[in-house]
Structure 1
């Protein structure tokens, strides 16, 4: 899946098809986007949604809630096999959910600290982090600076959690998904954060509005110049036939070649 994942509230079934058309994968949301009184109907909407299971996942409520059991029962009545677990941290319980492919959404202190163990579970296919829930779990008020020169940028604890999750996912060979950008009117801020996600190694970024999808896609899609340079470098490496070689006045080794290969992979997105 990826690179642009789009949340679709399960109580708004009229949005499902449009979300699938406009994004690379849809996250049908049974959790925060759905009011408690609407959750029963939302589960039925999810079951009847008819989206492609290969590019659709269902976000369920936190496992310690009563809603989670009802969510899982509904998923079992659907054709979907991939779930996203909100506020994930319970390693043993998640390990037992072997009938699903699981994306763990680590959005608490416990979840971030459990990320390395969660990433190693065979049924876990990806990890995502959530900034606002994380800071709320710490007793804080905002994950981002709201004024001054650093306005809009993450606070240190959020940046640390983001890096922790990325490292945990990469160490286990699992996809890391970057958190949402809540201010969907701020296109420039989203573009900057998406470009950082790409450069840092996140495999995808979650979106909350269809207008964000192409911004994320553009960040993940390398330019023609980048593709041409990567192709030229890889051709030179094949011709050199050695581990380290000189190319245009610079030394090239394994990590540089890996960057070039990643660019070629992203060019196919």
Structure 2
């Protein structure tokens, strides 16, 4: 699993609700101050003023800005320049070179939530100042003319599964972090837990949350079982006595299994 240092639980917070900024930062591993979809057009200027006035840890703060090519993006960028925050989540990212030019000097989380953005996932992941990719399900389906990313049983439709996998593979190919999309059904903690467990098992470095009540479930999913931690420690210790493939507790251990053990210890 590629490491994204701010994870595993990232919590969105609307930029027009400054009274929530501190609480969101306290409850999650990082807060995403949202200047885009969570803020009505009439409130965006107020949200930018809130951003400038905010007193949060820059190492644990991400600012989601509006898409490139919009007036709101330019205004967001002007506000950002007046703050210490240098990690930006770019909504509807679609063009790697344009990201590099427009956000030079910033660490970028590229949010791929359109068909074009997903198709160009590898190009965007290869962009130098892009540190991570995230995918967005509902905006993606809207860009395709679809109605919903999930079936009635709550599972993703096949096109959403493909997009999720595409973004994860592109991030991994270029050594960047991958962030799993939000789980919109807030009361369904059991469904969130299952999706978060799949995210960590698949290689996502973090998962985004839209409610403080989701943070604990995501953290629990990313925390390995104590028995798995003990096993990882023991198998890595045993590996020091072998030059290649070896047998441990009846299982053949090779390079990929040792990497998995290392990842387990990193999550712990």
* Aligned equivalent of 1:127: 133
The answer for unaligned runs of 5 or more in structure 1 is none
Q: Does 2:208 correspond to 1:206?
A: yes
What is the CA deviation profile of residues 189-245 of structure 1, one whole-angstrom value per residue up to 9, with x for unaligned ones?
000000000000000000000000010000000011111111111111112x22100
Deviation of 1:64 (Å): 2.4
* 1:188-203 matched pairs, under 5 angstroms: 188-203=190-205
Number of residues of Structure 1 aligned to a counterpart in Structure 2: 262
Q: What TM-score comes out, normalization by structure 2 length?
A: 0.96
Structure 2 equivalent of residue 229 of structure 1: 231
Shift of 1:65: 1.8
- 8 Å CA contact 2:97–2:127 kept in 1: the answer is no
CA shift for structure 1 position 92: 2.2
Q: Secondary structure at the match of 1:83?
A: strand
SS in 1 for 2:55: coil
Partner of 1:113: 119
Name the structure 2 match of 1:159.
161
Gaps of at least 5 residues in structure 2 are 1-5
Deviation larger for 43-52 or 90-99: 90-99
RMSD: 0.7
Tell me the distance in 2 between the aligned counterparts of 1:118 and 1:188.
Answer: 33
Deviates more, 1:57-66 or 1:200-209: 57-66
Deviation track 1:25-50 (CA, whole Å, cap 9, x = no partner) reads 01000000000000000000011111
228-237 or 184-193, larger mean C-alpha shift: 228-237
CA distance in 2, matches of 1:126, 1:51: 21
Aligned-pair CA distance for 1:91: 2.0
Structure 2: how far apart are the matches of 1:70 and 1:145?
38
1:89 paired to 2:94: yes
Q: 103-112 vs 229-238, which deviates more?
A: 229-238
Comparing 63-72 and 208-217, the one that deviates more: 63-72
Higher relative contact order (CA 8 A, sep 6+): 2
**Following the alignment from structure 1 to structure 2, what is the Cα–Cα distance between the partners of residues 184 and 226?**
29
User: CA separation in 2, counterparts of 1:32 and 1:38?
Assistant: 11
* Residue aligned with 2:239, SS: helix
Deviations 1:8-64 (A, max 9, x none): 100000000000100000100000000000000000001111100011010001112
Following superposition, which runs of at least 4 residues in structure 1 exceed 6 angstroms of deviation? none
2-structure distance, mates of 1:258, 1:182:
33
CA distance in 1, matches of 2:177, 2:96: 18
CA distance in 1, matches of 2:112, 2:259: 28
